[in-house]
Structure 1
Amino acid sequence: MMETAAGWIAPAATMIAAMMTAANLGARVTGWGFIIFTIGSICWSIVGLSTGQSNLLWTNGFLTAVNAIGIWRWLGRQAKYDDGGAAAAHKSAGANVPSLFSTGALSGAAVIGSDGSRIGTVIDGMARCDGAALAYVVVSEGGVGGVGERLHAIDPRLLIFGHEGVSTKLTAEDLMAMPVIEPDHWPEKLPD
């Protein structure tokens, strides 16, 4: 009975965890993905033990240890860093200092257009080495899951960074009309 239950839980947990970690939805989702991976690897170990498959048992014993490191990395260490950045951004929003925005939160942030709808997603930001100011921000629009998306290098002055995310006065049409950059060939400066 235990072997049968483990035989069903193991592949289901492994598939769910793989989707959670591959989606890259933040430290906490990734961390929970590793917890579910751990459940899967323990169940695979039970299957290996009960069926005499020592290779399955040893492999998933090792994966359980790797998953424990993933849990520590994403739910422990990275979650604390994310909380620290969010706390500083939140406190600065109400203080008599320039507002802060965590650059770690930049990648993957939704870009909210002038009408309040999501018009794109921040892929990354490129900082200048001569003063650490942002040279440009790469924003994607269109496509599904990265397939068919178009990338644009945007002047950071066109974006409003806040502790709640990134917004702009641009419309979806404005963003689509901007020059497209290649995914593997970003410019050394903003396109003219």
Structure 2
Amino acid sequence: MLSIAGWIAPAATMIAAIMTAANLGARVTGWGFAVFSVGALAWIIVAAATGQQNLLWSNAFLLLVDIVGVWRWLGRRARYDMAAEQASARSAETAAPTLFALAGLEGMPVRSGTGEIVATSVDAMASCDEGRIVYLVVREGGVGGVGERLHALGWDEIQVQDGAMVSRLSPALLARRPTLAPGQWPATAAAAGVG
């Protein structure tokens, strides 16, 4: 049992770290915390069998944190996401404008008119006065955040369709857009080069 726990503990911890760090959505993050829980339990077994009190108490605490993470991401956040999906589906069946959840913007692909992914949404900047999205920040290029380029797209350049945003921009047109500094996003649509 100790030998099995000794292998499960680091493997589960590493897999869970990748799952949560990847930020692939509420469900993957929630399952990452569930895998972290398995790792913490295995570390507790190793610690108890080898008399390592510091390892035991630190992983007992981490197990509590992991349980909160599972509740937060697979419980509460999943319910919010499901409610948003249902509201979106019901709105599509009415004459009113179709709704989508703003929480889903981060990580949403931006496709060209031909369906090719040209960028991925990072965030959106909205007007406090008018309550509308002014511009969207997207990333393209790079791997794992290294070498990526950030651009602003005007909200009027985007249509949301079937879980993705569609733009008339091709990868070549997007690449010719000015890039945004990662820590210095524009304060206005004009400064972002949109609108």
**Corresponding position of 1:141:** 140
**Corresponding position of 1:162:** 161
Structure 1 residue 163, shift from structure 2 partner: 4.6
3-state DSSP of counterpart to 2:173: helix
Deviations 1:83-132 (A, max 9, x none): 11111112212211011111000011011112211110000000000011
3-state DSSP of counterpart to 1:140: strand
3-state DSSP of counterpart to 1:76: helix
1:97-136 correspondence runs (5 A): 97-136=96-135
3-state DSSP of counterpart to 2:180: coil
**Corresponding position of 2:69:** 70
Unpaired runs of 5+ residues, structure 1, are: none
Given residue 9 of structure 2, which amino acid in structure 1 is its aligned partner?
Answer: A
Does structure 2 retain, via aligned residues, the 8 Å contact 1:124–1:139? yes
Distance 1:74 1:100 in 2: 23
Instruction: Normalising by structure 1, report the TM-score.
Output: 0.97
Unpaired runs of 5+ residues, structure 2, are: none
Distance 1:178 1:83 in 2: 36
CA RMSD of aligned residues (A): 0.9
Deviations 1:53-93 (A, max 9, x none): 01111111111111000000000001111111111112212
Does structure 2 retain, via aligned residues, the 8 Å contact 1:28–1:75? yes
Distance 1:100 1:175 in 2: 26
Distance 1:58 1:151 in 2: 43
1:166-177 correspondence runs (5 A): 166-177=165-176
Percent identity for Structure 1 against Structure 2: 49
Distance 1:162 1:118 in 2: 13
Distance 1:145 1:95 in 2: 40
3-state DSSP of counterpart to 1:12: helix
Does structure 1 retain, via aligned residues, the 8 Å contact 2:119–2:138? yes
Distance 1:171 1:84 in 2: 34
Does structure 2 retain, via aligned residues, the 8 Å contact 1:101–1:163? no
Instruction: Normalising by structure 2, report the TM-score.
Output: 0.95
3-state DSSP of counterpart to 2:186: coil
3-state DSSP of counterpart to 1:72: helix
Deviations 1:150-186 (A, max 9, x none): 1011101100013522111211111111111101000
Distance 2:48 2:62 in 1: 15
Does structure 1 retain, via aligned residues, the 8 Å contact 2:108–2:163? no
**Corresponding position of 1:27:** 26
Does structure 1 retain, via aligned residues, the 8 Å contact 2:27–2:74? yes
The worse-fitting range, judged by mean Cα deviation, of 169-178 and 102-111 is 169-178
